[in-house]
């Protein structure tokens, strides 16, 4: 996470405390939202940082149209209050409006940044639970994906934001997971190109083996920010996946320690570390641990299958990870296989 985003987190201390929020349930059947079909309506909201360029909105509207889908824009989509996309109350109202609107079939976040956690005390999770819909986004949207899964009791989706690239890779996963309802198998694309062997999109196995469990996770910084809120799902026997951006190794170390102390790491059956984009020690930090060192310190002692390098995170080409869907992972090959479709 960049220094700017850290400033956002520090300034968020003035936001209302999530006092009185009900604790997330630990069990029960998980429902699946309906798949998207030609003519489905996708509600586009901006629950976090402000959108600076209106062209981003034009691109998502046109991209959805190219897939045969209709966009419905949140009333406050282009609002701005400092670094936020408008007042907390207005952003929350847009989210609630999309979930309760019978015309809308999915809710897609335009961008992340910071701000979703500020909405949690303002959302009506009982109303959201009555209207299971596709909720798609990543990065700061983790602060909505996990609580909506936990409190709403239906699958949510960690994947491209509306302002992400609508390239062939991302669109393929959008179609296969959200429209065609495939029980997909996700493996990094490896092409040697002009090199003797592939050098891009490689994985590093930390602990080999296979495991099965529900996929749970998202952005590491945002996940650790809401630990203790009572709005996280039960991680028992889960497959944990995490990613981050512009975080020094010592910060990744600190966040994994928080997951360790909170008991989350000791509950999971496997770990997928996606990409930590621009997470180098920094110029002159010759004595620093590397991200690989930190991952080995925390994940090897778990003795569960684990690897790093999956196509998850702040990258141009991303998998769509269905939160709550059972999957089988293979840490030797870096494979994620859904055991059932993520949509109904």
Q: Half-sphere exposure (CA, 13 Å, Cβ side) for 309?
A: 19
Instruction: Kindly name the residue from 139, 164, 229, 308 that is annotated as catalytic.
Output: 139
Q: Is 108 annotated as catalytic?
A: no
Between the two ends of the chain, the Cα-to-Cα distance in Å is 35
Using CA of residue 157, residue 158, residue 160, residue 162, what is the dihedral sign?
positive
User: Catalytic one among 76, 108, 158, 314?
Assistant: 314
Whether residue 243 lies in the annotated active site? yes
| Residue of 76, 243, 247, 308 with catalytic role | 243
The count of other CB atoms within 10 Å of the CB of residue 313 is: 24
Concerning whether 139 is annotated as a catalytic residue, the answer is: yes
Q: Are strands 156-158 and 134-137 parallel, antiparallel or unpaired?
A: parallel
* Residues annotated as catalytic (active site), given as ranges: 139, 243, 314
């Amino acid at each position: 996470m960049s220094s700017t985003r850290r400033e956002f987190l520090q300034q968020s201390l003035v936001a209302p405390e999530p006092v009185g929020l009900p604790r997330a349930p630990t069990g029960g059947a998980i429902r699946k939202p309906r798949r998207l079909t030609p003519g489905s309506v996708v509600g586009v909201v901006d629950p976090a940082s402000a959108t600076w360029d209106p062209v981003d909105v034009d691109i998502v509207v046109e991209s959805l149209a190219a897939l045969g889908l209709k966009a419905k824009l949140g009333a406050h989509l282009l609002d701005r209050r400092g670094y936020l996309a408008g007042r907390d109350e207005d952003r929350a109202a847009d989210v609630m409006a999309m979930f309760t609107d019978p015309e809308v079939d999915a809710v897609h976040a335009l961008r992340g940044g910071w701000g979703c956690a500020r909405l949690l005390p303002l959302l009506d999770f009982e109303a959201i639970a009555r209207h299971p819909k596709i909720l798609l986004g990543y990065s700061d949207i983790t602060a909505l994906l996990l609580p909506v899964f936990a409190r709403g009791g239906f699958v949510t989706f960690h994947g491209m934001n509306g302002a992400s690239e609508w390239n062939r890779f991302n669109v393929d996963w959008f179609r296969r997971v959200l429209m065609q309802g495939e029980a997909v198998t996700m493996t990094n694309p490896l092409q040697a190109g002009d090199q003797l062997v592939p050098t891009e999109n490689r994985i590093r196995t930390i602990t080999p083996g296979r495991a099965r469990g529900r996929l749970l996770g998202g952005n590491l910084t945002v996940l650790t920010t809401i630990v203790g809120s009572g709005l996280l799902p039960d991680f028992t026997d889960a497959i944990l996946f995490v990613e981050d951006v512009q975080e020094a190794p010592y910060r990744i170390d600190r966040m994994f320690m928080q997951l360790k102390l909170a008991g989350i790491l000791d509950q999971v059956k496997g770990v997928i570390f996606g990409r930590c984009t621009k997470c180098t020690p920094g110029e002159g930090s010759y004595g620093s641990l590397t991200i690989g060192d930190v991952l080995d310190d925390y994940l090897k002692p778990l003795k569960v299958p684990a690897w790093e390098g999956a196509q998850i995170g702040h990258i141009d080409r991303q998998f769509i990870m269905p939160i709550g869907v059972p999957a089988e992972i293979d840490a030797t090959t870096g494979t994620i296989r859904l055991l059932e479709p993520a949509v109904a």
